[in-house]
Structure 1
Amino acid sequence: MRAFAELLGRLVLTPQRTAKIRLLVDYFRTTPDPSRGYALAAIAGTLSLNTVKPALIRDLLLERMDEVLFHYSYDYVGDLAETVSLAWEPPREVAPADIPLGEVVEKLQRAGRSEVRSLVREMLDRLDSSGRFAFLKLATGGLRIGVSARLAKQALAEMGGKDIGEIERLWHGLSPPYLPLFLWLTGEGEMPVLKTPAVFHPVMLATPVEQNDLQGLDPADFAAEWKWDGIRVQLANVGGFRRLYSRSGDEISSAFPEILEAVDFAGVIDGELLVGGTMRTDRATGSFADLQQRLNRKTVNRKLLADYPAFIRGYDMLFWGERDIRPEPFHIRRKALADLIDAASPEHFDLSPLVPFSSWEELDRLRSDPPDPVIEGVMLKRLDSPYLSGRMKGPWFKWKRAPFNIDAVLMYAQRGHGKRSSYYSDFTFGVWAEGEGGAMLVPVGKAYFGFTDAELEILDRFVRDNTVERFGPVRAVRAEPDAGFVVEVAFEGINRSTRHKSGVAMRFPRIARLRPDKLPREADRLETLEAMIGARA
């Protein structure tokens, strides 16, 4: 655990991408199996554990620590795992030990419900402070170290001198602790042979259109299609194996059984997962808020299937049957996709329509005022572009609508995680609405990015100086018509929501600017957000 704990600590404090990769490569080269495989799974988010509840960890610490002192310590540190790792005092007769990560993970996987408490106590007693911290982050599923699964795969590719595309193709056919993968990477074994051919293929990504990007480019060389507000997916039916993947490669087949059941073609297609009705039916396409009713579920009941039927709006085709058509130009792949979808189930598949245009100015006008509220912009694809994994500038562009902006008032704050654990960096903001006693603030969203480090210092200082109530780790801050903090919030979309008290839900909110020049009474009202929904509809 010591090597794993040291790796986590260094990754958190290392901002450079190349330096993170170097740390991962060194760890994978020097750590034996199965520990390095479990570390890879923990970092990439593929490790399956019966996670330990924070309440159990808190109870264990209170067996050995005064409750008041614990609350003061937790409030100061801001992170439960860090608090416990520092405050825990093992029995004097127990010397710290360096327990292999593989042993820790396998003990957690085998532990029954009645055994977890004694196992956690044993681990906290036997590990040193840094080991305890790593163990608690692992056991609670709170491993946030600024490393994506893609970065971990890049480290594997560099370690073994392989192409990352090979790693991506194998990834979803393997499982922790990845013993065959590491044998291949170290030259001690052959490339793993997957049991199922329906594997994920790295998706092609677009670059955002920035100022002057389109100057000098001929509109006639590009096709434009609407960019829909769902989630990007890849559907594979190869050799009788059917799989549905998110754009990051997570398998989500079990959450959308109706799509897999409707697949009557062989191949791999790229598209947008949406709910509601396709363009080939009379039912309207649902919003992202509707789609959220179906996301992150292991199973779905009949009511969800009926109320939020899912379908795929096709963008591209990677394999036609068993033939790899990714090297073909886009216009050839598009024709093949159109023929395939034309013969597929009309309730479960349709084709994202092309947008006719003759100039960038004309496309800009269309982008700014799309015909459907579920459209968030346009995609531009060179007609001669092959399907290439990753993001490269030139073949594909995404040109989103301008984001929505409102002025809102900070209402609540909570400490962040990792290198932000000592700062209040997660903020809830609100707008004014008419209540029984007059105007009152109602929460409408949360944001934890968009601001600079210097702005974070300002926000954190305001929270500390203006806290009026505490609810566990949450701080309510002063928010009155003439006293408070106004921020400009940008977001990509907005929909009605029965899950939120305000009745609205924002898409990708972020703090765009601090507005110390404004009083809270000048912030926007709920009617403004409701009007945005009406304008989109």
Structure 2
Amino acid sequence: MQAFAALLDSLIYTRSRNAKLRLIADYLRATPDPDRGWAMAALTGDLDLPAVKPALIRALIEARIDPVLFRMSRDYVGDTAETVSLLWPEPDRPVENAPLSVADVVDRLMHLSRSDAPAALAGMLDRLNAEERFALLKMATGSLRIGVSARLAKTALADAFGLDVDAVEEVWHGLVPPYAALFAWAEGTGAQPTPADVPVFRPFMLAHPLEDLRVDLKDYAAEWKWDGIRVQIVHVAGATRLYSRTGDDVTGSFPDVAAAFTGIGAVDGELLVKGEHQGGTLEDGGGAASFNALQQRLGRKTVSGKMLEEYPAFVRLYDILFDGNEDLRPLPWTERRRRLEAFAAPLDPDRFDLSQVIEAADFTALEAMRATARDAAIEGMMLKRRDSPYVTGRRTGLWYKWKRDPLTADCVMMYAQRGSGRRSSYYSDYTFGCWTEEGELLPVGKAYSGITDEELRELDRFVRGHTVHRFGPVREVEKTLVLEIAFDSIHESKRHKSGIAMRFPRIARIRLDKPAAEADRIEALRRMVT
């Protein structure tokens, strides 16, 4: 645990991407199996230790120190694992001090029942120092938050052993921790794992923001950018899997889509929920409800028959990666599009349709079409170079995303909460509201992004100087500060007292010039509902 703890500690205080890559690569080269494999599982979010939950950790620490002291410390620090690791008391009597390895910890916690977990976890914490306790708790809860994405961790592994990161991604989801076969290949002692006969994930092709660039439609094709979640559907050897953009397996949440996919190969598309009242029908390229409808099914391990009926899912297909065993990714977009049309033709039309290519005379005409697009399920447009192969990640000049201009509203700050990580010392998460016709302020959203570090400090000072009530880590503030909030769309919501919810809210600017009484009304936001 000592080496893994030192790695996490270094990563937390390192902002440079290249420095993070070097730290992880050095650790992987120096650490034996299976410790490094379990460490990779933790870094990539693939480690599941269901017996350990945050509530268990809180119960353990509150049984050993004053609960009020813990809660006050947690409020200040902003992270449970860090707080517990620092406050955990020394045991009353000597305990076994033989070092614990990452594999020891994982093996013990993975096979525990929930009833046995408290004593086992407490025994481990008694044997470790503060740095190691922090690493153990972060690993056990699956919430590292150390500024390392799964992609960066895999890139570091590839760098450490001279591998191609795309080749690592290609086989990653066909392997299980602690990845003995992967490390054997990396060190030259074993064969390269193969995705044959396994429905593995392939990395997505991504797009750059268009910003101020204008393109020639002779070179680029335009499609609508739909507001669902990007998925890859893979069917191999009788098995079908749906993967999100981050490579998470979401098949269990959408069994209806998986069951309907009969083509052998791999396709790329947007997962949506049907809504015939929105944007026409599937046949004319519409038929999608807002993201709010899709959210009803996201993250569910089991889906009831009622939910399948009320929120029927379908996929709008964008691209094709494999047709049978044939890899189509090196082909130009125009050829892949032709192959996709043929591949999609026999699929169930209630579950799959094609993203339509937008016909426009020139870029100016396309701009006009984008400006008037306010369908609930449309985020903007995609521009794809007609001769582009399907390549991993973002490659300049190939694909562009051209999101529609955001909506804005002037809202009043109501509550503030401490952030996480490097923001844990600041009140950085803000709940804001708008006025009813009767003069009541109701919450309409929460945001923490869009501000600079200086603006963060300014808002933190406001919160500390204008607090009227405290609720644990949350402070209620005087209703005097107006924030201009930008958001992509707004939808009806039964979960919010205001009856509406914003999609992707972020702070556009602090309106010190505007009195709170002149902030927007709920009814004005209702008129924006799509």
TM range (shorter): over 0.9
Amino acid in the other structure paired with 1:498:
K
Out of 340, 344, 349, which is 2:343 matched to? 340
SS in 2 for 1:439: coil
The answer to whether the Cα contact below 8 Å between 2:381 and 2:403 also exists between their aligned partners in 1 is yes
Aligned counterpart, 1:147: 148
SS in 1 for 2:72: helix
Amino acid in the other structure paired with 1:52:
V
> In the TM superposition, what are the counterparts of 1:513-528 in structure 2 within 5 Å?
513-528=509-524
Q: Does 2:441 match 1:441?
A: yes
Out of 488, 499, 502, which is 2:495 matched to? 499
Out of 244, 247, 252, which is 1:246 matched to? 244
Aligned counterpart, 1:63: 63
Out of 233, 251, 267, which is 1:269 matched to? 267
Q: 2:374 & 2:68 partners in 1: Cα distance?
A: 59
Deviation of residue 456 (structure 1)? 1.2
SS in 2 for 1:157: helix
Q: Does 2:310 match 1:307?
A: yes
SS in 2 for 1:356: coil
Aligned counterpart, 2:278: none
Deviation of residue 97 (structure 1)? 5.6
Deviation of residue 280 (structure 1)? 3.0
Q: 1:429 & 1:138 partners in 2: Cα distance?
A: 34
> In the TM superposition, what are the counterparts of 1:294-443 in structure 2 within 5 Å?
294-370=297-373, 372-434=375-437, 438-443=438-443
Deviation of residue 51 (structure 1)? 4.9
Flag the 1:358–1:94 CA change in 2: closer, same or farther, 3 A. farther
When normalised by structure 2's length, the TM-score is 0.94
The answer to whether the Cα contact below 8 Å between 1:173 and 1:195 also exists between their aligned partners in 2 is no
Deviation of residue 283 (structure 1)? 9.2
Q: 2:52 & 2:60 partners in 1: Cα distance?
A: 12
Range with greater deviation from structure 2 (19-28 or 49-58): 49-58
Q: 1:127 & 1:4 partners in 2: Cα distance?
A: 13
> In the TM superposition, what are the counterparts of 1:31-180 in structure 2 within 5 Å?
31-94=31-94, 98-180=99-181
Q: 2:56 & 2:217 partners in 1: Cα distance?
A: 61
Residue deviations 1:337-379 (CA, integer Å, cap 9, x gap): 1222222111011111111112211111111112733111111
Aligned residues: 524
Q: 2:90 & 2:195 partners in 1: Cα distance?
A: 46
Q: 2:65 & 2:185 partners in 1: Cα distance?
A: 49
Deviation of residue 274 (structure 1)? 0.5
The answer to whether the Cα contact below 8 Å between 2:51 and 2:114 also exists between their aligned partners in 1 is no
SS in 1 for 2:32: coil
The answer to whether the Cα contact below 8 Å between 1:313 and 1:352 also exists between their aligned partners in 2 is yes
Flag the 1:323–1:70 CA change in 2: closer, same or farther, 3 A. closer
Amino acid in the other structure paired with 2:296:
Q
Q: Does 2:453 match 1:450?
A: no
Q: 2:12 & 2:449 partners in 1: Cα distance?
A: 17
Aligned counterpart, 2:211: 210
The answer to whether the Cα contact below 8 Å between 1:281 and 1:346 also exists between their aligned partners in 2 is no
The answer to whether the Cα contact below 8 Å between 2:416 and 2:463 also exists between their aligned partners in 1 is yes
The answer for unaligned runs of 5 or more in structure 2 is: 276-280
Amino acid in the other structure paired with 2:509:
R
Amino acid in the other structure paired with 1:259:
V
Q: 1:419 & 1:518 partners in 2: Cα distance?
A: 31
SS in 1 for 2:494: coil
The answer for unaligned runs of 5 or more in structure 1 is: none
Instruction: Tell me how large the CA RMSD over aligned residues is.
Output: 1.9
SS in 2 for 1:191: coil
Deviation of residue 150 (structure 1)? 0.8
Alignment identity in percent? 54
